[in-house]
Structure 1
Amino acid sequence: MTAEPTHRPQPGSLPGAPLFAQELAGTLAVHSQYVLYGNVRDVYLVPEPVRRSPDGMSPESMLEVLWRALRPSGYRCLVVSDQVDGITVYPRGDPDARAAAEQVLGRRMLDRKQTLERLRTCMARVVGNPPPPPIKADAVQEDPSADEVSTDGARVAFVIDYAARIPRSQTALEGEERDFFLFAQKLAVTAETRGGGPADRPSELFNPIIWLTEGERDLPAWLTVGMERVRTIAVPKPGLSDRLIAARYFAPVITRDHRPPLDGDPDIERFAKRTDDMTLHAVREIARLCADRGMPLAQIDDAIRIYKIGIDQNPWRQETVRQQIITGEARIPDQVLGQRAAITKAFDILKRAALGLSGAQASSSANRPRGVLFLAGPTGVGKTELAKQVATLLFGDPEAYLRFDMSEFSASHAADRLTGAPPGYVGYEAGGELTGAIRRRPFSVVLFDEFEKAHPQIFDKFLQILDDGRLTDGQGTTTYFSECMLIFTSNLGVFRTDPQTQEKIQLVHPGIAYDELERRVRAAIDEYFTTKLGRPELLNRFGDNIVVFDFIDAPTAGRILEGQLRNVIDRLAREQGITLDIGGLALTRLKEWCAAPRTLANGGRGIGSEVESRFINPLARYLFDANVRSGKVHVHDIDVDNGVATLVARHEP
């Protein structure tokens, strides 16, 4: 009777280890070099030899993960080289590992500064090739006869850490650097497998050279492209399941309790979900931050915010914000005139933001911006003014208001202004205007004026901000928008550009019912995002946060006129010592001009233009021509002849 074949674990298999380690350990028979890039500075979950944690996993360093992945296949040590510590042995302090490294490299190579010459020699000896000639003709070559070097097939791996720091520039290698990487490329081709390994699973494997770097293109592209012997492996950031395990592992640090947390603990689950796109190292540091400040696990949201932004006090939770919103709801309608419906809806969204309920119905809303407003409607009706008032209300400081005129971002390369140019381009060192400003003031109101005029490529940035609440700049630094109030303004639905004549055609006019105006504007916004832009997902991110402003009516125009005339009177009295009185037909005519349909179509700006051309210009002419330097001026009427306005006035010295 034939015995059932038993299943043999694959060489280098490490069940439960990170996938990148399993991929490396499982392909040692066909690849002589590996480039691990991405999240290579993190800690990683590996099975515990003796189960101590709730999940039987513990976080370990990259070197420990590599060592555990290679050791089952008979590898005796890792030789590690970087520009700080030089050439060392891992595991540190292990005499057997040290002996294996000395057997392959010789004593003289260990604990020495990293140079290109020594790197070449170490790589050749690890792989089993003859020592290479020196890079320079007059260089002193490392003498292999000075040490007893074994070629009996001892298995070791050579790890080159911080590999991106070896070349000064990846695109313009100097002579010695080019020769070094060319040697490394040839070594990948000429390397041969070695026998050995445990008695129960002997195999032919390479002694690998493992490059650790942050970016996939940090090394010369020709080193890996088209090279079958060189395998490139991405090291991703941890997923939700890994963060859940890490949160359970580090929870006792916060609670100062050695007992593991219960399964399904909502605080643990929130800890894992709200560290989306963060490393396990960050999860560990947040736990330490909680412990250092004596914060319970229930306050993990505050600890995450402090870790991300670095600010202890949260202005959103201050009682003054609540009071300011209540006060502002009564006061702002007197400053943004004629927009009662829009202001009411905008303040509903503000109240939701202050309570942290924006997007609360979604399971992944924690990292999204604190609040989002999309203000649409005619020009000059108070959209920008409302943004300024919101900034002052929330944070008591108009300086917390950032404005970006998106008409300045209509070119395809303009996105670099927001996030900074990528490495190698002009302006890389300066960073991004938006990301830099938010890092300086993480609690801000950010206004993106005339949103639809931005180049379509910029909308990708907005999608990331609205969905994830973060943006990575050209220097690789992540900026968080989770405590920002974002306000977008747009004139979509008010005008349409004729495709043939390029003439602007007004679609809605003063006097239209607000319900009809709102319907048309919303329909135009939907059509723009879905049909013209082809980005319905961006429209979905705005959701019901679209607030449509109404045209200014005649009574509101009269109130705006009164306010502007009052500003003129105050300025003249303060700076010129002249008292101004406006009455009679002059005031009546100004009200008629400001209530004209053409003026109302341009909102407050149209009224301001009428006041400037019909009143301020003739007033300045009158004061100059009559040499008025003090006293009182009575304005009775305004005559207009061939488009030129003239005051009918009287001066009392």
Structure 2
Amino acid sequence: MNFPLQPRWLSDVARTLPIRSQFVISGNIRDTFLASVSGQTALVPLQRALWETLRAAGFGCMLVYDPADGIRAYPDAPEQRQLAERLFGLKLADSAQMLSLESLTNLMRKLTAERQARCALVLDFASRLTRQPSQLSEAEQRFFVIAEKLSLHAAPIVPATPVEGSGAPLFNPVIWLLNRAQDLPSWLTLDSERVASLVIPKPDYEMRMAAAQQLAPLFAGFEQAAPPVRERFLKSFTDGTEGMTLSALADITQLADCQHLGVADIEDAVRCYKVGALDNPWKKDYLRDKVRSAHEAIEERVKGQHAAVVKTLDILKRSIIGLTGAQARSGGNRPRGVLFFAGPSGVGKTELAKTLTQLIFGNERAYLRFDMSEFAEEHTGARLLGAPPGYIGFDAGGELTNAVREKPFSVVLFDEIEKAHPRILDKFLQILEDGRLTDGRGDTAYFSETIIVFTSNLGIYVEDPHGQRVQNVKPGDSYETVEARVRDAIGDYFKFRLSRPEILNRIGDNIVVFNFITPEVGEQIFDGMLRNIALRLRDELKLRLTMSADIRRNLLARCTQDLSNGGRGIGNVLESAFINPLSRALFEQSLQGKQTVTVTGIAETDKVVTLTLQVS
């Protein structure tokens, strides 16, 4: 068969027919394959590809058996049916014939002993012949032992009535089609040199390109397009379908036809197939308008982090115009953006992730958050991706993969990434490089439309030469100092402590370092929190909150005395020094018909803060 892009497994079948009596084929068996049919290249199912290869070698018929439909001739044509009925005593004229394991055993005996014509037997869905290959019933054990014996005792033949291509001695093979090689007893392939084990992989770049060339004329406008446009289309189609089957390429083509997508829309067609969504928020004009005017709004929520906000918006703008990974040959499958937020606790890292979600998707709750402190043990990785096949719960999928399939357009936040087990961090290599993960069920989740955000406190504290934990940066240090030391500490952590520099390399220059809260910013945060308390009082109790400037200064001094814990620390002190005593005082008051509560005094005795209130 002179076909330069014939799949390797098919070439191996044709090449080893003189020396192998049985073939165990597993892996990507339900895909379509490029084959030469009547002199033309076409995408065909596995059985058709097998038949075209066997027919070129002089085979007269191919029998196909599966536990659901029994035995039938392939192709279902009078010539092949009549030959199968004559040689093997089958009755195939009206429909497929059901067989027991004993009858199937007898059929294999006849096939291997046949000398009049070349025939092959394909056992499809062979993974379903037994319930458990390690615990065979007596009948199943006998069936496989006879199959093993036949593989060793069969002999190649030259048909008594040769046809074109049938001159060399070849076996009449038994071909097992399996989901996984371990679905058969392992000794069947280990103990017989006449059994060839072939695993069909996902198609490589060259095979996908050839398939894209076959499917391209079905896209509107391809035939009329200029050569450079055609080349760009083929490259985008091939690059965007990395890791997919050829059946998926055909499905994308059909989807494009249904949605009236042409040559210029190939990326949308691939994305639509991957994530199952037609609407792409990344290409909406309103998103560009929102991002152009977003700087002030973001800094209103995330105070005192000008440098971090600017860099985050730069990465977001790059994602919107589609230039993420543009320096690589192919970056289309990578996430839209990757951000590594590093810095002290309570300075706005998680808040900025929420703000990004609100900006892009209109709802700050639309982000997917994973607290990585919950994944400190290696076995907890099964929660993210699902248990491996065969383990309890593998069919439920993983929390991460399920969430991304449900919400393919989202911000995915991995909080406190340094607390995850190093083995779990390895999973992020595939997300950052290929933009996809496969769970225990075998389902793939695509991250190509997500923004990945990691947060970390790395670099704030480090270990000294004696192994003691010491503060590496502190409030009052310049931002340049904080950024340099935090970046160095992150590099040391991934390169030397974890010995995984490749993770840091995938993150690249997307590390965004947050500064400590300065006294000026601390006052802004404090005032914002006071306003929130006043709003809550108005909404819950219909009361207006007022206080003197002296009391405000007293509270401000208490809340901003230690800024090392950032805005969260300010909130914690405000809760204990103001909200708790305010609640205590109001609880004792009769508020019926009251409109205003004024804080007239604040005092502390034995570390207990009390407020004096005037309610009117």
TM-score between the two structures when normalised by the length of structure 2: 0.92
Matches within 5 A, 1:20-99: 20-47=9-36, 49-50=38-39, 57-95=41-79, 97-99=80-82
**Which runs of 5 or more structure 2 residues have no equivalent in the other structure?**
none
Instruction: Give the whole-Å Cα distance in 2 for the aligned partners of 1:371 and 1:248.
Output: 31
Deviations 1:403-453 (A, max 9, x none): 000110111111211121122222223221111111111111110101111
Farther-moved stretch of structure 1 (198-207 vs 522-531): 198-207
Report the 3-state secondary structure (helix = DSSP H, G, I; strand = E; otherwise coil) of the residue aligned with 2:117.
coil
Matches within 5 A, 1:295-334: 295-334=261-300
Select which of 207, 221, 234 maps to 1:242.
207
CA spacing shift, 1:498–1:192, aligned 2, 3 Å? farther
Does the alignment pair 1:157 with 2:94?
Answer: no
Report the 3-state secondary structure (helix = DSSP H, G, I; strand = E; otherwise coil) of the residue aligned with 2:394.
coil
Does the alignment pair 1:101 with 2:84?
Answer: yes
- Given that 1:585 and 1:637 are in contact with CA atoms closer than 8 Å, whether structure 2 keeps it comes out as no
Report the 3-state secondary structure (helix = DSSP H, G, I; strand = E; otherwise coil) of the residue aligned with 1:361.
coil
Instruction: Give the whole-Å Cα distance in 1 for the aligned partners of 2:39 and 2:226.
Output: 19
Instruction: Give the whole-Å Cα distance in 1 for the aligned partners of 2:60 and 2:226.
Output: 38
Report the 3-state secondary structure (helix = DSSP H, G, I; strand = E; otherwise coil) of the residue aligned with 2:180.
coil
- Number of the residue aligned with 1:425: 391
CA spacing shift, 1:319–1:200, aligned 2, 3 Å? closer
Select which of 7, 18, 27 maps to 1:18.
7
CA spacing shift, 1:283–1:182, aligned 2, 3 Å? same
CA spacing shift, 1:59–1:577, aligned 2, 3 Å? closer
Deviations 1:462-514 (A, max 9, x none): 1111111111111111111111111111111111257977x642211011111
Farther-moved stretch of structure 1 (110-119 vs 469-478): 110-119
Cα offset for 1:567?
Answer: 1.8
Matches within 5 A, 1:327-366: 327-366=293-332
- Number of the residue aligned with 1:214: 179
Instruction: Give the whole-Å Cα distance in 2 for the aligned partners of 1:314 and 1:257.
Output: 23
Report the 3-state secondary structure (helix = DSSP H, G, I; strand = E; otherwise coil) of the residue aligned with 2:294.
helix
Farther-moved stretch of structure 1 (271-280 vs 510-519): 271-280
CA spacing shift, 1:336–1:19, aligned 2, 3 Å? same
One-letter amino acid of the structure 2 residue matched with residue 42 of structure 1: D
Farther-moved stretch of structure 1 (255-264 vs 297-306): 255-264
One-letter amino acid of the structure 2 residue matched with residue 98 of structure 1: R
Report the 3-state secondary structure (helix = DSSP H, G, I; strand = E; otherwise coil) of the residue aligned with 1:241.
helix
- Number of the residue aligned with 2:599: 635
Report the 3-state secondary structure (helix = DSSP H, G, I; strand = E; otherwise coil) of the residue aligned with 1:359.
coil
Select which of 400, 409, 431 maps to 1:434.
400
Instruction: Give the whole-Å Cα distance in 1 for the aligned partners of 2:57 and 2:182.
Output: 30
CA spacing shift, 1:73–1:261, aligned 2, 3 Å? farther
Matches within 5 A, 1:113-512: 113-128=98-113, 151-152=114-115, 154-196=117-159, 202-255=167-220, 262=227, 265-497=231-463, 504-512=469-477
Cα offset for 1:239?
Answer: 1.5
| Aligned positions, number | 610
Instruction: Give the whole-Å Cα distance in 2 for the aligned partners of 1:487 and 1:337.
Output: 19
Farther-moved stretch of structure 1 (332-341 vs 451-460): 451-460
Instruction: Give the whole-Å Cα distance in 1 for the aligned partners of 2:62 and 2:221.
Output: 36
- Given that 2:529 and 2:571 are in contact with CA atoms closer than 8 Å, whether structure 1 keeps it comes out as yes
One-letter amino acid of the structure 1 residue matched with residue 81 of structure 2: R
CA spacing shift, 1:561–1:266, aligned 2, 3 Å? same
Instruction: Give the whole-Å Cα distance in 2 for the aligned partners of 1:14 and 1:343.
Output: 56
Report the 3-state secondary structure (helix = DSSP H, G, I; strand = E; otherwise coil) of the residue aligned with 1:36.
strand
**Which runs of 5 or more structure 1 residues have no equivalent in the other structure?**
1-11, 52-56, 129-150
Instruction: Give the whole-Å Cα distance in 2 for the aligned partners of 1:101 and 1:258.
Output: 44
Report the 3-state secondary structure (helix = DSSP H, G, I; strand = E; otherwise coil) of the residue aligned with 2:509.
coil
Instruction: Give the whole-Å Cα distance in 2 for the aligned partners of 1:569 and 1:538.
Output: 46
Does the alignment pair 1:645 with 2:609?
Answer: yes
Cα offset for 1:176?
Answer: 3.9
Report the 3-state secondary structure (helix = DSSP H, G, I; strand = E; otherwise coil) of the residue aligned with 2:390.
coil
Root-mean-square deviation (CA, aligned residues, Å) is 2.5
Farther-moved stretch of structure 1 (321-330 vs 555-564): 321-330
Deviations 1:552-592 (A, max 9, x none): 10011111111112222222333234443232443222222
Instruction: Give the whole-Å Cα distance in 2 for the aligned partners of 1:337 and 1:258.
Output: 55
Percent identity reads 44
Instruction: Give the whole-Å Cα distance in 2 for the aligned partners of 1:300 and 1:199.
Output: 44
TM-score between the two structures when normalised by the length of structure 1: 0.87
Farther-moved stretch of structure 1 (442-451 vs 492-501): 492-501
- Given that 1:13 and 1:26 are in contact with CA atoms closer than 8 Å, whether structure 2 keeps it comes out as no
Report the 3-state secondary structure (helix = DSSP H, G, I; strand = E; otherwise coil) of the residue aligned with 1:255.
coil
- Number of the residue aligned with 1:132: none
Report the 3-state secondary structure (helix = DSSP H, G, I; strand = E; otherwise coil) of the residue aligned with 1:224.
helix
- Given that 1:419 and 1:432 are in contact with CA atoms closer than 8 Å, whether structure 2 keeps it comes out as yes
- Given that 2:221 and 2:262 are in contact with CA atoms closer than 8 Å, whether structure 1 keeps it comes out as no
Select which of 581, 586, 590 maps to 1:618.
581
- Number of the residue aligned with 2:566: 603
CA spacing shift, 1:415–1:193, aligned 2, 3 Å? same
CA spacing shift, 1:652–1:200, aligned 2, 3 Å? closer
Instruction: Give the whole-Å Cα distance in 2 for the aligned partners of 1:420 and 1:386.
Output: 30
CA spacing shift, 1:431–1:174, aligned 2, 3 Å? farther
Instruction: Give the whole-Å Cα distance in 1 for the aligned partners of 2:533 and 2:224.
Output: 72
Cα offset for 1:170?
Answer: 4.3
Cα offset for 1:455?
Answer: 1.2
- Number of the residue aligned with 1:6: none
- Given that 1:38 and 1:214 are in contact with CA atoms closer than 8 Å, whether structure 2 keeps it comes out as yes
Instruction: Give the whole-Å Cα distance in 2 for the aligned partners of 1:200 and 1:300.
Output: 42
CA spacing shift, 1:294–1:78, aligned 2, 3 Å? same
One-letter amino acid of the structure 1 residue matched with residue 438 of structure 2: T
